[in-house]
Amino acid sequence: MKFEPALVKDTRARILEAALELFAEHGYAGTSVRRLARAVGLRESSLYNHFAGKEAIYHALIDAHGPASSADRLRGPRYAAVKNDPAAFCRLYVEDLLDQWSDPREQRFQELILAERNRFEGERAHYVEALFSDELGMVTRFFSGFALGEPIAAPQPSETARLFMAGLTFIRLEHYIMPAKASARARVRAALDRFLDTFLALIAAPQLGDAHGPPAARRS
């Protein structure tokens, strides 16, 4: 297994890249620090200059992938620009998720999390916090803002956020996590479009004088 230095810019990133591959392929217990150091061309003692040990590397991987990376994006300027536009927010969030799901590194990370989810109680709690506190919390804040501006029908923004993320999670399970081979991107894109059209129609605020319920979702 070779790791090209050109693919990563610093030693810490190279260690994480190698660890993700080795942990996913051989398991956490099956990957020694010596083997990991060898994969990135370091002495074992040199690796400890960057991480205290394997558990610290595992912790850093949780910070770099999955819900933690989604939460980081939600704090960025691209999302600040759509804070008053629920349809644009949902479509941007889904587009970013599709890119994330399609990334081989993210797929390896999910394999690792599923395989090692019971290894460390603290690391399991760290992942849960990244998902349910950070990422879900950020999405909830966006929906709370939308509700204050009254462009959506969301009496409970936190539950609206849960419904949104639950639908996306189900699609990910169907197309990436459960099958032996991931679905083609175009097929996943179509499933996401159908879900978004339905979700946006459900949360659309009724128009004044409209006796037929919420308007159909419009594509941005």
Q: Check whether 123 has a pLDDT greater than 90.
A: no
Partnered with residue 204 across adjacent β-strands are: 152
pLDDT at 8: 37
pTM, 2 dp: 0.78
| pLDDT tens-place string over residues 24-60 | 888 888 999 999 999 999 999 989 989 998 989 988 9
Mean of the per-residue pLDDT values of the chain: 85
Eight-class DSSP state of 217 = P
Dump the DSSP string for 96-142. Answer: HHHHHHH-HHHHHHHHHHHHHTTT-HHHHHHHHIIIIIIIHHHHHHH
Q: Check whether 9 has a pLDDT greater than 70.
A: no
Q: Check whether 220 has a pLDDT greater than 80.
A: no
| pLDDT tens-place string over residues 158-187 | 999 999 999 999 999 999 988 989 999 999
- Kindly state the tokens that stand for 150: 């009254």
Query: What percent of the chain stands above pLDDT 70?
Result: 87
